[in-house]
């Protein structure tokens, strides 16, 4: 993005959108979002990419439910932005699809095997609808990145690079449009 941008990365492995994980405590984005926004305020843009961990079998969620969890976070952020008096754009990324080979890989049981593949394929549809409904920008991460062959879930270096370039281009576009 260049010197004109300061990126604050707040990723955390295992974080869910809004669901409390009975095994991995304190991983809900709902509990973390508002303190995070407050501590980093002011912001010119918020990027949200959560949902993969919501695929865990113990939650029993479909892609529609996971997008609804992300929508809850978008609404919380928009409410925060209204209260502080700044119309801050939000870029929503739908998570990447889980690899078809997941049944032979380490996260198979945690994600519920082939059902995670099916459910993750629905991410772009529901996340796009949610973004449009809430006036957010949207990017389908699966258009740029695929899961690595080691676990069928996480990005390899090449996919990180491609997705990073796509997100950077989208951010530059959003910031350019927002200044007009």
60-101: pLDDT as tens digits: 999 999 999 999 999 999 999 999 999 999 999 999 999 999
Contact (Cβ atoms closer than 8 angstroms) between residue 92 and residue 131? yes
Which of the 8 DSSP states describes residue 128? H
Contact (Cβ atoms closer than 8 angstroms) between residue 121 and residue 97? yes
Check residue 51 and give its pLDDT. Answer: 96
Check residue 26 and give its pLDDT. Answer: 87
Q: How far apart are CA 89 and CA 133, in angstroms?
A: 14
Q: What percent of the chain has pLDDT over 70?
A: 98
Could you list the mean pLDDT of each consecutive 10-residue stretch along the chain, which spans 180 residues? 91 93 91 95 96 96 98 98 95 96 91 95 98 98 96 94 97 83
Radius of gyration of the chain (CA): 16
- Among 143, 170, 177, 134, residue whose Cα is nearest residue 47: 170
């Amino acid at each position: 993005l260049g010197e004109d941008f300061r990126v604050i990365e707040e990723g955390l492995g295992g974080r869910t959108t809004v669901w409390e994980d009975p095994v991995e405590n304190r991983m809900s984005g709902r509990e973390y979002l508002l303190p995070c926004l407050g501590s980093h305020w002011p912001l010119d843009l918020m990027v949200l990419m959560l949902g993969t961990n919501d695929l865990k079998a113990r939650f029993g969620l479909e892609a529609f439910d996971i997008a609804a969890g992300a929508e809850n976070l978008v609404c919380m952020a928009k409410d925060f932005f209204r209260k502080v008096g700044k119309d801050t754009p939000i870029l929503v990324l739908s998570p990447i699809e889980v690899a078809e080979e997941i049944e032979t890989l380490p996260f198979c049981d945690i994600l519920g095997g082939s059902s995670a593949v099916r459910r993750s394929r629905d991410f772009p549809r529901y996340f796009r609808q949610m973004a449009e409904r809430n006036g957010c920008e949207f990017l389908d991460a699966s258009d740029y990145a695929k899961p690595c062959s080691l676990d069928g879930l996480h990005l390899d270096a090449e996919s990180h690079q491609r997705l990073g370039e796509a997100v950077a281009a989208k951010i530059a576009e959003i910031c350019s449009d927002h200044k007009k």
